[in-house]
């Protein structure tokens, strides 16, 4: 990032190649919509380029970029809420926007998806998680961020991160126990 700030466009290319996939998956898991996730990627890199001067070298770069993605995703969810005000009554219990979003059929269980069965249940279980728990477990499980880094991204204390991840694991464990035997 420092190289990019110094004017090296190639450094930016490297950042993009390294982070495009993680950011996309992070956003997809949070928002459950591929289109939105792609938008988030675009927006994250836009913010990255437009606010390169705000980057402080003492912060770790991956926490910085995940923080941007986190903020953009939250922004998306707020916008969705505004639109859903027009189009449907929000399901208060599980915060779902299924009526609003076009269902993502890629993870629907279908004939050739025996292999994907576990994956689809995992997705469903993660989708059901409350937003903060979801974020914490996703960052830990899929992006290998340390608890401390997660604390920076979510702007909370280390102990809170611990609790969030513990709760997320507990919920997922209860949700996924019938399928866990298959694994090993």
Partner 1 sequence: MIFIHSKIKKIISAYLDNEVSEKEKNLVEEHLKKCTFCRKYYENLQRLSSALNKYKEEELSSDLEQRIKNNFLGGKYKGVAKMKNKKLIVGISSGALAILLMFVFVGHIQNSIQKRIHNAYLELSGEKQYESVSGGEEYSSSIGDGSVINSQYPQARKVEKWRDLNRSQGSLEDSKASRKSIYADSNKAWMATSGKYAAGYAGHDYAYQLNVPSESLIKPSITGVEEGPIVIVEPYLPATGKEDKLIRNAYATLEVENIQKVYDEIVKVGKGKNGYLAAANFNESTSGRVNAQIILRVPKEKFEETIDEIRKLGQVKRFDIHSIDVSQDYSSLVSELNTIKTVYDKIAEKLKEKKTDIQGAIRLESQLSPIAKRIEAIRSKIAEYDNLIAVSTITINLYEVSWKLMIQESLKETKQRFVAFVASLLKNSVTLLPLLAIVCVIGFVCVALAKKLISVVKKIFTKKSS
The residue among 28 and 64 lying less far from partner 1, judged by its C-beta, is 28
Closest CA to 135 of 146, 148, 121, 150: 150
Min separation Cβ 172 and partner 1, Å: 6
The residue among 93 and 184 lying less far from partner 1, judged by its C-beta, is 184
Among 87, 98, 99, 110, binds partner 1 (CB under 8 A): 87
Among 30, 43, 135, 153, binds partner 1 (CB under 8 A): 43
x/- contact string, 127-166, with partner 1 (CB under 8 A)?
----------x--xxx---xx--------------xx-xx
Does position 13 bind partner 1 by CB under 8 A? Answer: yes
HEC assignment per residue over the chain = CHHHHCCCHHHHHHHHHHHHHHHHHHHHHHHCCHHHHHHHHHHHHHHHHHCHHHCCCCCCHHHHHHHHHHHHHHHHHHHHHHHHHHHCCCCCCCCCCCCCCCCCHHHCCCCCCCCHHHHHHHHHHHHHCCHHHHHHHHHHHCCCCCHHHHHHHHCCCHHHHHHHHHHHHHHHHHHHHHHHCCCC
Min separation Cβ 171 and partner 1, Å: 10
Min separation Cβ 17 and partner 1, Å: 10
Please give the Cα distance from 142 to 29 (Å, whole number). Answer: 10
Min separation Cβ 91 and partner 1, Å: 19
The residue among 67 and 176 lying less far from partner 1, judged by its C-beta, is 176
8 A C-beta contact, residue 20 and residue 41: yes
Interface ranges with partner 1 (CB under 8 A): 9, 12-13, 16, 20-21, 24-25, 28-29, 33-35, 37-39, 41-43, 45-46, 49-50, 83, 86-87, 102, 116, 118-119, 122-123, 126, 137, 140-142, 146-147, 162-163, 165-166, 169-170, 172-173, 176-177, 179-181, 183-184
């Amino acid at each position: 990032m420092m190289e990019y700030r110094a004017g090296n466009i190639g450094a930016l290319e490297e950042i993009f190649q390294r982070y495009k996939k993680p950011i996309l998956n992070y956003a997809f898991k949070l928002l459950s919509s591929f289109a939105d996730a792609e938008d988030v990627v675009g927006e994250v890199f836009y913010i990255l380029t437009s606010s390169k001067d705000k980057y402080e070298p003492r912060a770790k770069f991956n926490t910085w970029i995940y923080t941007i993605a986190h903020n953009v995703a939250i922004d998306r969810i707020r916008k969705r809420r505004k639109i859903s005000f027009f189009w449907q009554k929000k399901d208060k219990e599980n915060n779902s926007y299924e009526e609003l979003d076009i269902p993502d059929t890629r993870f629907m269980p279908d004939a050739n998806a025996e292999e994907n069965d576990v994956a689809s249940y995992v997705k469903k279980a993660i989708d059901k998680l409350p937003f903060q728990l979801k974020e914490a477990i996703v960052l830990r499980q899929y992006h290998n961020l340390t608890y401390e880094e997660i604390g920076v991204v979510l702007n909370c204390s280390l102990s809170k991160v611990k609790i969030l991840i513990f709760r997320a694991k507990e919920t997922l464990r209860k949700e996924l126990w019938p399928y866990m035997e298959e694994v090993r």
